[in-house]
Amino acid sequence: LYRAGITGIGVALPEKRLTNHDLEKMVDTSDEWIVTRTGIRERRIVTDGERTSDLATRAAERALLDAGVAAEQLDMIIVASVTPDLTFPPTACLVQERIGASKAACFDLEATCSGFVYGVSVAAQFIMTGAYQKVLVIGAETLSTITDYTDRNTCVLFGDGAGAAVIERVPEEFGILSFELGADGSGAELLKREHTAAIEMNGREVFKFATRTMGEAAKRVMNKAGWESQDVNLLVPHQANVRIIEEARRRTGLKEEQVYVNIHKYGNTSSATIPIALREALDEGRLKTGDRVVLVAFGGGMTWAAMALVW
Ligand code: ACO
């Protein structure tokens, strides 16, 4: 088997910021409550009918540029999203047309907030076997379009954004060493959206599931990679709540400086949080070639996914 890794990352975020102070005018909440309970200060929100495929396309173009890969070279595009433009065709096909990836196979993958790590894991199998050479995985969401802005329990949490990653064959000393994908359908009622309705959530139960599974899954992929907690350069968790991240960190035995957090700027953008965090960690010099990185996510389903890779 060949080794698969992430060779380029691109991000797209809407311009408009929705701050906690804006939300104070919309529902009975306060900046203080939101910051202490979630860590979120503002989130980005689409305007002028901007759709998931618009964000996905911009992120895709930037990821391709970052990797030095031309759209025509792509063998496959996977879009992970709970907010596709349409029920069908897949958002991946809309992106394909707009970037000109004419020979790419295209499909959407729905694994809620775990979708990006699920997508990278799927892409990696094609690269590892040599079946495909270049795959684009995109996590893209316009959660604001399915959020009830009269429900303070949920509307303070979510934001819009997209992140894309190019997956290719990499030298033996780099790339994905281990991954774990999981699901527990008995929790399907805890976090859901019925057709045309808004997100519904049992916050407390989701919180409990998240802290338990993120910590345990991260530890298992570290073990499989042969890493102790001090070997990890950066844990990049799904950004849903800073208290969930803190609890997962504690359970994996990592120090605060080993964990990347940017939830204060974007809130929970579901499948987009991890690629957005990776891009910012790279830009800030927190993530460098050769670093040992752990990704871990959870989401509705319930689902979870984790991965250990050398950057
Ligand atoms: N402002 C003010 N008060 C609020 C707000 C708000 N925005 N939201 C809830 N409250 C109130 C509640 O009504 C409750 O009041 P009550 O005691 O009178 O009933 C009180 O605050 C405390 O509520 P708790 O649920 O105990 O608050 P908690 O500290 O658990 O935080 C939160 C709630 C932030 C939702 C937390 O449970 C959480 O983050 N859960 C996980 C949610 C999550 O990550 N969901 C996304 C998953 S990813 C995906 O697939 C999209």
Is 238 annotated in the active site? yes
What spacing in Å lies between the alpha carbon of 70 and ligand 1's midpoint? 44
Query: Which residues, in sequence order, are CB contacts of 205 under 8 Å at separation 6+?
Result: 187, 190
Q: Where are the beta strands (DSSP E) in the chain?
A: 3-12, 17-19, 42-44, 76-80, 105-109, 134-142, 160-170, 175-183, 191-192, 200-201, 234-237, 292-299, 303-310
What spacing in Å lies between the alpha carbon of 37 and ligand 1's midpoint? 7
Is 21 annotated in the active site? no
Is 113 annotated in the active site? yes
Which among 20, 155, 238, 241 is annotated as catalytic? 238
Q: What is the DSSP code string of 135-166?
A: EEEEEEEEGGGG--TT-HHHHTTB-EEEEEEE
Which among 20, 93, 106, 113 is annotated as catalytic? 113
pLDDT above 70 covers what percent of the chain?
100
pLDDT of 160 strictly over 90: yes
The Cβ of residue 172 has, within 10 Å, a number of other Cβ atoms equal to 8
What spacing in Å lies between the alpha carbon of 249 and ligand 1's midpoint? 20
Which atom number of ligand 1 is nearest to the Cα of residue 244? 39
What spacing in Å lies between the alpha carbon of 217 and ligand 1's midpoint? 24
**How confident is residue 195, by pLDDT bands cut at 50, 70 and 90?**
confident
> Hey, whose CA ends up nearest to atom 44 of ligand 1?
240
Instruction: For the chain, give the mean pLDDT.
Output: 97
Q: Could you tell me the two tokens for 14?
A: 């809407």
Give mean pLDDT, residues 244-267.
96
Q: Could you tell me the two tokens for 129?
A: 């076997």
CA distance 300 to 112: 6
Residue labelled with tokens 């997956």? 167
pLDDT of 196 strictly over 90: no
What spacing in Å lies between the alpha carbon of 153 and ligand 1's midpoint? 5
pLDDT above 90 covers what percent of the chain?
96
Within 6 Å (CB) of ligand 1, which residues are found?
A: 29, 33-34, 37-38, 112-113, 152-153, 156-157, 191, 201, 203-204, 206-207, 210, 240-241, 268, 270, 299-300
ipTM of the complex: 0.91
- Please give the angle made by the CA atoms of 130, 109 and 161, to the nearest 5 degrees: 110
pLDDT at 303 (0 to 100): 97
Which atom number of ligand 1 is nearest to the Cα of residue 204? 37
Question: With the C-alpha atoms ordered 118, 202, 86, 99, is the resulting torsion angle positive or negative?
Answer: negative
> Hey, whose CA ends up nearest to atom 12 of ligand 1?
153
**How confident is residue 41, by pLDDT bands cut at 50, 70 and 90?**
very high
pLDDT at 178 (0 to 100): 98
Q: Could you tell me the two tokens for 56?
A: 């996905």
Percent composition of the chain: helix, strand, coil (DSSP 3-state, to 5) = 40, 25, 30
The pLDDT tens digits of the residues spanning 105-158 come to 999 999 999 999 999 999 999 999 999 999 999 999 999 999 999 999 999 999
